[in-house]
Amino acid sequence: MLKLLSPSSPAASPFLRALGSITGFTRRNPNLGRRAFFCSDAKNGDGVVEIEFKGLGNESEAKSKSSSSSAIIPTNLNPEDYVKVLALPLPHRPLFPGFYMPIYVKDPKLLAALQESRNRQVPYAGAFLVKDEPGTDPCSEMENNIPDLKGKELFDRLHEVGTLAQISSIQGDQVVLIGHRRLHITEMVDEDPVTVKEKPYDKDDDVIKATSYEVISTLRDVLETSVLWRDHAQTYTQHISDFDFTRIADFGAAISGANKLQCQKVLEELDVHERLKLTLELVKKEIEISKIQASLMKKMEEKMLSEQRRKLLNEQLKAIKKELGLEADDRTALCEKFRERLEPNREKCPPNVLQVIEEELSKMQLLDASSSEFNITRNYLDWLISLPWGNYSDENFDVLRAQKVLDEDHYGLTEVKERILEFIAVGKLRGMSEGKIICLAGPPGVGKTSIGRSIAHALNRNFFRFSVGGLTDAAEIKGHRRTYVGAMPGKMVQCLKTVGTANPLVLIDEIDKLGRGHAGHPASALLELLDPEQNANFLDHYLDVPIDLSKVLFVCTANVVHMIPTPLLDRMEVVSIAGYITDEKIHIAREYLEKTTREACGIEPEQVEVTDAALLALIENYCREAGVRNLQQHIERIYRKIALQLVRQGTANEPAVGDPIQSLSDEPAVVEVADSDEHVVGSKVRRDTGNSSQSEATKTVEKVLVDSSNLPDFVGKPVFHAEHIYEQTPVGVVMGLAWTAMGGCPLYIETTQVEEAHGKGALQVTGQLGDVMRESAHIAHTVARSILLDKEPDNTFFADSKLHLHIPAGAIPKDGPSAGCTMITSMLSLAMKKPVNKDLAMTGEVTLTGRILPIGGVKEKTIAARRGGVKTIIFPSANKRDYEELTPNVKEGLDVHFVDDYSQIFNLAFGDHEN
């Protein structure tokens, strides 16, 4: 350890005298030992670990005075005197003698001990750099781990050489230290004291002088180029000539940007020449870093000056053009227009999209306005900026309002409305709604498209519809590449541009009628569009930037679910919509169709009356389809004829041109005429004086009554007759129930005997049947023979008869596994010469053992049975649950039997009707 010189000593340099005046130290006995203490959280003792060191004086004298030093506190302390100090761990850099350092002490006990030492006028502590943990990065942050080190563990982690520091101030947990001299610790206080001193050196050594001068020269260069340590240097530059060699080495290492291990190496080096060499290496590196920094700064300044100069020249160019009256060119004006359109949505636009827009704008400014690339870039920018990036409409999660909207727009459809209300309820609980895929499957005309519009109204979302029926080009969904002539984005991008929000309701119509062409499969392109796991980053080929479609609600419509590709169907939630029964059609016609048509034709309600009997006849004899589109067309046809009739009556009642009623006076003339049916017909005409006259007439004509008797006058002869072709079902004829894309319909199966001879048993089928129904016919023939053999063993009808099975309406293709039991009943009726019971219909597939298999389309077939006047229906037992889910108005007045085996059907078909 170095020996301090008293500030009053003649040998003291001006630097040391200045230091003495700052610290206020006076000279005392330097030959006293010193102790250093480490604060710990140990519960035994006072929680302080001591480390002892001493000066170069008499060891025995120090020991004799150590007992009294704790009781007597000197008024004027000197760093050479015996003092009790605490050891402070430094996490980042060592403290060099002559320098300030603020540190933060997080250990409350250590902070309290420092404050106590300062209050006792013993403002000294030992500052030691903490060693890095083995296997860790020396540059890593370790300040947070220091408070966890206590006692012996902390002692082992400290470097042996540190700095005796004066506690200048304590503010909160910040302690400001001033370094004085080196300290060297080796062991705990219970061992013998250790001695610290620097190796002696020759001040007149030329090598040391040359090294120090080189350090000083390099330091001057560093201070000229670097402002990082200029505040420290200002304190010492005036005393640079009075620095001794040790101060020069410490000063150079302290202001360098070296890491803590390199600085600690300088601090631990006791040989002054070696220390100077280490410091020279550090400051040389610092001067190289300063040169690199200056070079970078110069380049940045040149770049900034170039940009400022370019901007200034552009402003001057604009000013010159403005003075000369010259307008900006098309490219500049167009770029400014694009930037103005982008500005309102700039904050919501994704960063990657903004980058693409800026690049395209810069590219467009360099292109010739007459080039084809310029038009491509302009169209591309127009699409990019037009999209609603981050713009979402405020959704309405009011379930009661949604229920009211759906009920006003549609009658019935309980299952569909319940599903939409569930979606709204989930959105209300979550505070947000995610996009879903709902597929509305049902016959044409049941209101699938209008349901989608009502859902958008209920949710307060924008609505967009596009049909994919017959779509053969996948580019219609994913867009074209920009390199193609006439390239356009896909339907989804067009949708977003049209609606102006990023969370619309998109109705994809006729998804079961997708085509397949040479330009790719559109169904595969729809997978990315509809899949919730993929459409958050939907990539359109034209835009070539990701688009978030996860908030879009997709509603698809289809007539036949099995026509939808399986991967696409797997991502949808199918909601089936069956056809309407007669009661529902009457209500829909009265509440929706008739009102809308009357307003479209401009007819007042008091001018027309359509009776319930007329509507019932219209539905039964003209409009038997599952939906109501054909019914709407017939109602429009009725009202068009009524409008023509009303106009003709009004024209007949108008006054002639030369009628005396047309007075030239300003008073209006009013004429009232009563017809024979006591209906008042009025005409009110106002004539203004002058060459041109304008008339406003309000006429009341005879009310038109539409009843079942005069219905053919409006819509022609009935298209359909009663579903019962026969008043009493003849032998060999049975009514079945079929499902079609238009809904359910009755399906008669007829069997007759063509030829009878011994061993001529055979079966012929007609009616344009598919392979499945042909197989069902042969199975039914086999099962019927076994049943007849069991019921009438002596009857050889099937063995000796050639049968002909036919299903009427041969122009319509028929196929499906649900006519087996009906065919068996028809064959047995012919074989036993027994007609089936009246008002009976059945459906179900039969196995060779007589078991009845389940079928599909229970609701459609039930509606078809009601429409055909059937009272008794036979369903497979497996379909009992499907039937129970139907609404009460569909099941009203029906006697339904659920069977497992054909023997139960045999008893119902050929048993006593009364029973």
Give the phi and the psi of residue 238 in degrees, each rounded to 5.
Answer: -70, -20
Sign of the alpha-carbon torsion through 522, 527, 530, 535: negative
Q: Is 445 annotated as a binding residue?
A: yes
Q: Is 444 annotated as a binding residue?
A: yes
Between CA 425 and CA 432, with CA 431 as vertex, the angle to 5 degrees is 90
Angstrom distance (rounded) from CA 7 to CA 158: 32
Of residues 818, 826, 829, 859, which has the active-site annotation?
818
Instruction: Note the residue count of the chain.
Output: 915
Q: Is 880 annotated as a binding residue?
A: no
Type of residue numbered 522: P
Angstrom distance (rounded) from CA 212 to CA 224: 18
Copy the structure tokens of residue 684. Answer: 């009110």
Cβ–Cβ < 8 Å for 130, 90: yes
**Residue 666 burial class via C-beta count within 10 angstroms: exposed 0-12, middle 13-18, buried 19 and up:** exposed
Copy the structure tokens of residue 631. Answer: 């019914």
Hunting for tokens 């502590």 — which residue is that? 125
Contacts of 620 (CB under 8 A, 6+ apart): 582, 720, 867
Q: Is 448 annotated as a binding residue?
A: yes
Q: Is 446 annotated as a binding residue?
A: yes
**Residue 206 burial class via C-beta count within 10 angstroms: exposed 0-12, middle 13-18, buried 19 and up:** exposed
- Could you give the angle at which helices 448-459 and 414-430 cross, rounded to 10 degrees? 30
Is position 861 annotated as part of the catalytic site?
yes
Closest CA to 536 of 434, 621, 439: 434
Q: Is 732 annotated as a binding residue?
A: no
Q: Is 893 annotated as a binding residue?
A: no
Of residues 260, 277, 585, 861, which has the active-site annotation?
861
Angstrom distance (rounded) from CA 37 to CA 79: 16
Count the alpha carbons within 13 Å of 201 in the hemisphere toward its beta carbon.
22
Q: Is 490 annotated as a binding residue?
A: no
Pairing of β 161-171 and β 124-129: antiparallel
Report CA-CA distances (Å) from 732 to 509, 553, 750, 819, 836.
44, 53, 6, 15, 8
Sheet holding 463-467, edge to edge: 463-467, 505-509, 553-558, 437-441, 573-576
Angstrom distance (rounded) from CA 471 to CA 491: 12
Closest CA to 555 of 694, 453, 460: 453
Angstrom distance (rounded) from CA 15 to CA 237: 10
DSSP 389-443: TT--PPP---HHHHHHHHHHH-SS-HHHHHHHHHHHHHHHHHTS----EEEEE--
Annotated binding site for ATP: 442-449
Per the annotation, where are the binding residues? 442-449
Active site residues: 818, 861
